[in-house]
Structure formats: structure tokens, C-alpha cells
Amino acid sequence: MYGSGLLRRLANGRHCGAILMFHEIAPASGERLHGFLSRISRQFTIVSLEELLGELASLHPPKSLPIALTFDDGLKNHSTVVYPILRDLNLSATFYVCPGLIESVPATWTWEMVCRIAWLSEPDLQTIFGQRGTGYGTAELLHWMQRIPVNERMSIVENVRKHTKEFEFTESELDLYGLMSWGDLRALDPAIVNVGSHTMTHPDLPQLSAAELESELETSKLFLEQELGRPVRDLAYPNGNFDQAVVDFSARCYRSAVTTNCGGVRALDSPFTLNRISADEIDLKWTSWLLAMHTGKGHRC
């Protein structure tokens, strides 16, 4: 289907747009990402998030599928690996960052747990996670931790840290999960990279009070604007989690907010619950399949 061009024709015929979502990009994957973005930009139309929102708001359906590129978590490899590729290919993207974590922690708690859980023995896993400690992998444990009450989650995080006191990030782990510095962010050309907020500290937003929402959403925007000297208009919900209160508050501060819900974006979609399609596999055939299959009208993943 890919070789025949069918997937490309299907995706380009949907008369909608798409937002690709990326996370960590290993330095060794730089050449692969370069090839992926080079080829996908020839098959579709890579645009900025602002241009995508503008195209969808117009009355004329796009002739070719417009795609915006987004990278979550403010990782160091976004500046060292991704940014040079974007500059070389003359493409633009949005980097979503958490200003409250910059230069205060090596990585977000999610990536820290990915690395620390691998250090735990099976008895420790059972002690900390109960039955989940034997039947679940790291990805499943992390997914579960992202959705439990914050106090319970932080208790588990501290328990994991207690059982891994000798833990230190390896150089390869920091290459994957280390965060950008303020200097890294300031060095990004605004014509290439649109910096968006990923909240202050990457919490589960639906669990927060109104005051906490204000701190995480409005303060993160103001903090970024003050430090970078550029407007910050766009938001990514941590772990893709949101409810109506989060959407309503986001609409007071931003022009758009993206989720992790799989699908295309259309003119009548709310700009504060925008779907995205994961491209973390950096696989052109698989991504083309997702673009063709998940951008159809009325599609629900």
C-alpha cells in the first residue's frame, strides 16, 4: 500500500490536517530522523502549527495534507539533534517545554522513573507496586502512575528513589532524557522553532485545583515569555490528560492545546483538544499508514 502510493493518496484526500508527535530522539537516530522528515516533507506539506491552524480555519480545504511537527518534554536532544535537522531541511516545529523543571532536575519524573524502575529487583517491584510489580512492564507501570492521585504517585516516586539510592543517570540516558537549558532554548531560531508550554512541572492537570491550574498553565506561559522574550501561545497537556475545566482554563491563556488522542484535525475541531498522531517510531511506512487511516472523517481511535 505504501509502495503503490495508495497511503499517500488516501491521506492527501482527507481534506484535513495532522499534527505529528515526537518525544525523545537518540543521537544515533539523527540520520534516520533526517531521512524521515526529508521524505515525508516531499509527500505531504510540512507547516508550522500556526499555519496549520490558519489553514483549517479557512473555507478552502487543503490540496495536500498539511502536517505540523511537535516535540514534547523540552529534551536536550531536541536542541542538539532535532533542531539542526529542521534548520537543514528548512522545516519548522513546536517544542513543548516545562519551565519549572529547566536547570532544576536532570529529567521529568516520568523519564526518571523509566530509568530507576529498571534498577529495581523483583522483590522491590512487588514491595512498591504490589501485584503490578510482577505482571506489568515499565511502560504499563508508568501509564498507571500517570493516572493515579498525585499524592499516591509522589509517594511511589519517593519509594522508588529510596530503593535506588545508588542510581545515577548514565551518559546515554541523559542523551535520551536530559532537559534543555535556558541557553539551549534561547539559541533556537524563532523562525524555525515555536516554543510552547508543557505546563510548569508536568502534572496530571485534571487532578489540580483552580489555583494549581493557574500556576501550571498561566505561570508557565508568563515564565517562558519573560525568559525567552517571545510570545508563547500553544500548550501540550502532560500525558494528554485533560477535562473540561482544564480546557476552559487553557482557552483563557493560549490559542491552542494538543492532546495525545490519535487522529487528524479539522476546521470544526476545538483548538484546545487537538488530536495528534505519534511518530515516535520514526518509520515512514507506519506513519503514512497512520496518516491515511486515522485522518478519515468521523474517525475515532
pLDDT digit string, tens, across residues 182-210: 999 999 999 999 999 999 999 999 999 99
Split at pLDDT 50, 70, 90, the class of 65 is confident
pLDDT for position 20: 97
Pair 285, 241 in one domain: yes
Q: Is residue 213 included in any domain, yes or no?
A: yes
Pair 138, 236 in one domain: no
Pair 113, 244 in one domain: no
Pair 63, 132 in one domain: no
Strand partners, 197: 97, 235
Range of the domain at 153: 109-168
Q: In the structure grid, which three cell numbers stand for residue 108, read together?
A: 521529568
Pair 264, 204 in one domain: yes
The reported pTM is 0.94
pLDDT over 60 at 301, yes or no: no
- How many folded domains does the chain comprise? 2
HSE, CB side, 13 Å, CA atoms: give it for residue 284: 18
Pair 115, 264 in one domain: no
d(CA 229, CA 147): 34
pLDDT digit string, tens, across residues 246-276: 999 999 999 999 999 999 998 888 999 999 9
Pair 118, 197 in one domain: no
What sign does the CA torsion over 149, 153, 154, 156 have? Answer: positive
Pair 63, 196 in one domain: yes
All residues at 6 or more sequence positions from 30 whose CB lies less than 8 Å from its CB, including other chains: 81, 85
Q: Is residue 1 included in any domain, yes or no?
A: no
Pair 31, 122 in one domain: no
Q: Is residue 197 included in any domain, yes or no?
A: yes
Pair 186, 124 in one domain: no
Q: Is residue 157 included in any domain, yes or no?
A: yes
Pair 280, 134 in one domain: no
**CB 154: neighbour CB atoms within 10 A?**
13
Pair 190, 78 in one domain: yes
Instruction: For the chain, give the mean pLDDT.
Output: 92
SS3 content of the chain, % helix, strand, coil (to 5): 50, 15, 35
Q: Is residue 235 included in any domain, yes or no?
A: yes
Q: Is residue 145 included in any domain, yes or no?
A: yes
Q: Is residue 174 included in any domain, yes or no?
A: no
All residues at 6 or more sequence positions from 169 whose CB lies less than 8 Å from its CB, including other chains: 106, 107, 115, 177, 178
| CATH of residue 18 | 3.20.20.370
